[in-house]
Amino acid sequence: MQNKDLANAKNAKKDEFYTQFYDIEREVECYLDYNPDVFRGKSVLLPCDDPEWSNFTRYFAQNFDRLGLRRLVSTSYAIESKQFKVSLRTSLFEEQSPQYDADKSKTHGKIFILDSDQTGDGRVDLDDLKWKYLDGDGDFRSDEVRRLRDEADIIVTNPPFSLFREFFGWIMEAKKQFLIIGNMNAVTYKEIFPHIKENRVWYGESIHSGDREFAIPDEYPIEASGWRVDEDGRKYIRVKGVRWYTNLEHGRRHKSMDLMTMADNRKYTKHRDNPKWRFAYLHYDNYDAIEVPFSDAIPSDYDGVMGVPISWLDFYCPEQFEILGITAGRDEFDKIAWPTKRYINPIQINKDGSKSNGSKANTRATILLDTIPDDIYYIADNAVCPFQISYARILIRKRK
């Protein structure tokens, strides 16, 4: 089920996954621990949001004074503009407002602004939110929301899964600081990896493994392996492969990994029974680098290039390692990945002589090992060729 729910949501345009308050709080506190003034005097924009249902506005509004915010702006997307239709849900906060318009609530986005004490209780919080309808539907690509982006200092949200690439580019175009949620495999996208490589973007602090729970609209079918319905009938699913993406500094990313020698890794590894371990430290056929199938197996006594899983980015310290490139099965990476060979229709030959499908045909930028155990090998075009790693590898080297 790894990443299945994110992929399904992307394909079906079911983009309303509501982040839990605890997950937002836990992540933001990491940046405050590193720099208590990271949000002070800043204008924060929460696009793709709706404070009546989303926890992003709730968190930042409740902590407006503590964070020292100058302005908080949230925008929502019109229900009729969504490709996957859900029921219109309006709260008393909206319906009791003088400007409430039942028709506009379907076709127009809304903007919520928090910048001053409106109630006279001496603090700025959720009760001081002001709102009105946007001129358009609230799409982040509209000129209206683009202007709000340009006025903001920091952008925080859970963007639509189906539009993650485009949303990421939308942020980077404006050169803004940001904190957003996405699939961990997004680092392999040509729009994102160059920023990772050049240390302009990195993973957040609080999610390193496991899954996270998201609330979903009532209309969404529950297809996840982990799900629940609370006592109020609200649906939740658990999704694997989620990470925060950011360019805000946090302390963990400057902490070096503790490494063992290659010999000690072989002796003490906890991965001995994992089939991937058999390929540890073998050289690639098409580039002078070795395969390191697990992040905790990086050897301290090897100074050459190593291919590591993308999950290694959870531990990446730019002062300890240099990112050189990435392998991927798409032609789009030709200019930024290391040179690789093309292998046509690899077929796996099992120990009993049976055949099974190998990796995708016409794959470019794959990793191939020059030596393999006798019980498994691949052929391509009727010629024996080395074992093929089907997952992306980040190519790294220890800094001197």
Count other C-beta atoms under 10 Å from residue 388's C-beta.
20
Q: pLDDT value at position 196?
A: 94
Mean pLDDT of 121-135: 93
Whether 337 shows a pLDDT value over 70: the answer reads no
Which residue ranges make up each domain of the chain? 4-254, 262-398
- Would you say 167 and 192 are in contact if contact means Cβ atoms under 8 Å apart? no
- Would you say 171 and 153 are in contact if contact means Cβ atoms under 8 Å apart? no
First to last CA, the chain: 40
Predicted confidence band of residue 201 (pLDDT cuts 50, 70, 90): very high
Whether 384 shows a pLDDT value over 70: the answer reads no
Q: Which of 71-80, 89-98, 192-201 has the lowest mean pLDDT?
A: 89-98
Q: pLDDT value at position 373?
A: 42
Whether 364 shows a pLDDT value over 70: the answer reads no
Q: List the beta bridge partners of residue 378.
A: 348, 385
Rounded distance, CA 341 to CA 285, Å? 9
Whether 332 shows a pLDDT value over 50: the answer reads no
Whether 351 shows a pLDDT value over 90: the answer reads no
User: Pick from 179, 175, 195: which is nearest to 187 by CA?
Assistant: 195
**What six digits make up the tokens of 115?**
């910048």
Taking the CA atoms of residue 313, residue 319, residue 321 and residue 326 in that order, the dihedral angle to the nearest 10 degrees is 60
User: Pick from 230, 169, 192: which is nearest to 18 by CA?
Assistant: 230
Q: pLDDT value at position 368?
A: 47
Q: Which long-range contacts (CB under 8 A, 24 or more apart) does 291-294 make?
A: 291/367, 291/369, 291/389, 291/393, 294/269
pTM over 0.85: no
Mean pLDDT of 218-222: 71
Q: pLDDT value at position 225?
A: 66
Highest averaged pLDDT of the listed ranges 80-84, 164-168, 381-385: 164-168
Predicted confidence band of residue 36 (pLDDT cuts 50, 70, 90): very high
Report the mean per-residue pLDDT for the chain: 80
More confident residue, 170 or 392: 170
- Report pLDDT digits (tens) over 137-152: 999 999 999 999 999 9
Predicted confidence band of residue 390 (pLDDT cuts 50, 70, 90): low
* C-alpha R_g of the chain: 24
3-state SS record for the chain: CCCHHHHHHHHHCCCCCEECHHHHHHHHHHHHHHCCCCCCCCEEEECCCCCCCCHHHHHHHHCHHHHCCCEEEEECCCHHHCCCCCCCCCCHHHHCCCCCCCCHHHHCCEEEEECCCCCCCCCCCHHHCEEEECCCCCCCCCHHHHHHHHHCCEEEECCCHHHHHHHHHHHHHHCCEEEEEEEHHHHHCCCCHHHHHCCCCEECCCCCCCEEEEEECCCCCCCCCCEEECCCCCEEEEEECEEEEECCCCHHHHCCCCCECHHHHHHHCCCCCCHHHHHCCCEECCCCEEECCCHHHCECCCCCEEEECHHHHHHCCCCCEEEEEECCCCHHHCCCCCCCCCECCCEEECCCCCEEECCCCCECCCEEECCCCCCCEEEECCEEECCEECCCCEEEEECC
- Report pLDDT digits (tens) over 87-115: 556 565 676 777 888 788 888 999 999 99
Q: Which of 155-164, 166-175, 214-223, 291-300 has the lowest mean pLDDT?
A: 214-223
